[in-house]
Amino acid sequence: MKSQKPCVPFLDFTLQYEELRTEVLSAIDETLKASNFTLGARVAQFEAQFATYCRQRYAVGVNNGTSALHLALVAAGVGPGDEVITTPLTFVASVAAIEAAGATPVLADIDGRTLNIDPSAVEAAITCRTKAIMPVHLHGLMADVHALKEISDDCGAVLIEDAAQAHGAECQGQRSGSVGLFGSFSFYPGKNLGAYGEAGAVVTGDSEKAAQLRCLRDWGQESKSKHVMKGFNYRMDAIQAAVLEIKLRYIEAWTESRREIAQKYTSELKPAGIETPEEPAGYLHSYHVYALKVPDREGLREQLSLMGIETSIHYPTPVHLQPAYTDLGYKIGEFPESELAAARLVSLPIFPGMTREQTEMVATAVLRAI
């Protein structure tokens, strides 16, 4: 019964590959012909272009977004005994990276409207051990980075942005990743800027920190066989850099296309009283995810599925309620806004290349179902 191809898939990468195929294959071929497999000129070139895109000075390419977060934490001096404040409504990698650095994740609830960490909850969670504050720009909407920057400056903590979902998002003219000392990105294939495999990057405006990140990602080598710090193998693949360099030329248009789909959804659904994503004044949402907050999510998903429309759920369980993280010591009810959002959010299809007819079909189907 279910083997039929959906009328509106949740994501479709086939169109994009058709468009890029010739360019991508020739860039990969050139990279391999030059025997450039890891780091090297390809990665350096992509780093320079990605830094420009983020309106930040330096970008350091790594092997995935989780390594990017871990490296930023290590370069911020975060280690055992330190606390890092983040949100429970995120992908587990945010919390896992803090533990990988040897520090203790301290969670603070979200603002139910923006779905991002609430600065007043962050203030309440600060202790003398707080070493970093790590907001996640959920779904492509930046957290209140200016309030968080003030809070982190006041308590002597470092601000690290988990911008894995927010390439090109803006807050008061500043791009995601460029406000904190570090901004961390993922280029997982499903992200707004996705490699054809795994990749990530850290951006920073600090030249010494950039040099430290470059050293740390390559086993702490300052020069060949001279290990000046304890590092990791977090090197970026040259093939992924070649792919990303091509995709970076299209990202502004793709973000614009996501924003058009989102605006169409919101203009149809919000007047009907449905809770659509917030885009506060002064912010530019990059719509990695377009999620509605509805009381009967399963009912809606079922009805849409009958009409051939795929939906998804981005994080049905907040991190503090995941079996692997019970040792953080939090209980049900501790972060009511995160728990409510996790129970009610449902993500609609959104991807560049989605047609106007498909967008219309989804919006109409949601209105009919609710």
Ligand X SMILES: *Cc1c(COP(=O)(O)O)cnc(C)c1O
Residues at the site binding ligand X, with contacts judged by CB under 6 A: 64-66, 90-91, 93-94, 136, 162, 164-165, 186, 188, 200
- Residue given tokens 């945010």 in the structure block: 94
Helix 238-248 with 14-33: angle, nearest 10 deg: 130
Are 350 and 287 in contact by the 8 Å Cβ rule? The answer is yes
Q: Which of residues 140 and 231 has its CB atom nearest to ligand X in the complex?
A: 140
Token pair recorded at residue 314: 């981005």
Q: Which of residues 160 and 294 has its CB atom nearest to ligand X in the complex?
A: 160
Q: Which of residues 91 and 265 has its CB atom nearest to ligand X in the complex?
A: 91
Half-sphere exposure for 49 (CA within 13 Å, toward CB): 17
Task: Report CA-CA distances (Å) from 243 to 41, 50, 55, 195.
Answer: 14, 13, 21, 6
Nearest approach in angstroms of CB 110 to ligand X is 13
Nearest approach in angstroms of CB 93 to ligand X is 4
Q: Which of residues 68 and 366 has its CB atom nearest to ligand X in the complex?
A: 68
Cα(319)–Cα(91) distance, integer angstroms: 7
CB neighbours of 307 closer than 8 A, spacing ≥ 6?
Answer: 7, 361, 365
Q: Which of residues 193 and 348 has its CB atom nearest to ligand X in the complex?
A: 193
Nearest approach in angstroms of CB 364 to ligand X is 30
Nearest approach in angstroms of CB 284 to ligand X is 18
Nearest approach in angstroms of CB 143 to ligand X is 11
Residue whose C-alpha is closest to residue 105's, from 116, 113, 117, 97: 97
Nearest approach in angstroms of CB 166 to ligand X is 9
Cα(145)–Cα(79) distance, integer angstroms: 23
Nearest approach in angstroms of CB 138 to ligand X is 7
Nearest approach in angstroms of CB 2 to ligand X is 28
Instruction: Name the closest residue to ligand X (Cβ).
Output: 65
Q: Which of residues 36 and 165 has its CB atom nearest to ligand X in the complex?
A: 165
Hey, which bits of 263-368 come out as E strands? 283-284, 290-293, 345-348
Cα(96)–Cα(117) distance, integer angstroms: 17
Cα(208)–Cα(57) distance, integer angstroms: 12
Name beta bridge partners: 186.
Answer: 200
Q: Which of residues 186 and 212 has its CB atom nearest to ligand X in the complex?
A: 186
Q: Which of residues 136 and 243 has its CB atom nearest to ligand X in the complex?
A: 136
Tell me the Ramachandran region of residue 35: left when phi exceeds 0, alpha when psi lies from -120 to 50, beta otherwise: left
